[in-house]
Every structure is written in C-alpha cells, then in structure tokens.
Amino acid sequence: MIPECPTCGLPLLYAPDVAPHERHERRKDHCPKCGPLPTSERLARDLEAVDCGILAAAARLGEFDDFKSESATPIGDLVRRLEVVAGVHPRGAELLKIAEAARAGRYDATEAEAQAWARSREGREALASLAPGPGRE
Ligand SMILES: [Zn+2]
C-alpha cells in the first residue's frame, strides 16, 4: 500500500533531509503539497506498522504530543507505555525500538508545530501568563 497524505491524498515521499542510507528505517512521511505529516500522525503510523493499534489510536488523539497532550511529559508517558506493552506484545522488540527512537527525539514536536501552537489562542494565553507584564512581578 502506498502511504497517502491524510489531508490531500497525494502519495507521501521521504522528507528531503532523509539520507539514502536511512531510507530503509524511516518511512515516507512527507507530503509534496502539505509538507511533513503532523508528529502525532507519524507516531501513529509507526505504531500501526508494528501492529500496536491501541497506542496508535492514543497517539492519533494527541496523547503523546508535546502540544496536544494534557500531560507535562508526553514522550516519557509514551516510552513507559511502550515498555509495558512490549512485555506482552508479539512484536515487543520493535516496540522497544520505537521507545528508543522516542527517547532520541523522533517524536518531539517540530519547529513548525511549536510556531503554530504559539499562534493559537491556547498558546498565546499560555505565553502571556509566563511573560512579565503590568501588575505582575
Ligand atoms: Zn498533503
């Protein structure tokens, strides 16, 4: 099955910065029109590729996303959940590889996602509450 962009349906390509020798490891996750897939979608697809539908569904809902999760430590949560599930999953060794990649930063939010969050209402409110302003210490 050729992976398609969930937004526009175009076939996905390798990201421009993926070196040829890395192409066996990293799947195609870059849309020629929309750019890189959202980090949460990329993680969900990596989890589906090793038959871990439960964590893939959680990933798609943003549970392990730096900006969409309610948790302060979404990547740490992901690593712990993967380590628990790996113990009882037929493809546990592959789940542990995803945990390792998560620790190495593969599922950290991208710069573009950070900027989009900073522009959102939630992000603007959160940043305003951190910045010193009139009447604040
Ligand atoms: Zn697209």
Q: Return the structure tokens found at 51.
A: 């038959």
Closest C-alpha among 108, 93, 9 to residue 51? 93
Contact (Cβ atoms closer than 8 angstroms) between residue 45 and residue 27: yes
CA 34 to centroid of ligand 1, rounded, Å: 4
Over residues 28-74, the pLDDT tens digits come to 889 999 988 999 999 999 999 999 999 999 999 999 999 999 999 99
Burial 40-76 (b: 16+ CB within 10 A, else e): bbbbbbbbeebebeebbebbbebbbbbbbbeeeebbe
C-alpha 29 to ligand 1 mean position (Å): 10
Residue in the block written with tokens 């945990």: 99
Most confident among 10-19, 24-33, 53-62, 110-119 (mean pLDDT): 53-62
41 Cα to the center of ligand 1, angstroms: 13
pTM of the model: 0.83
Q: What are phi and psi of 76, to 5 degrees?
A: -60, -40
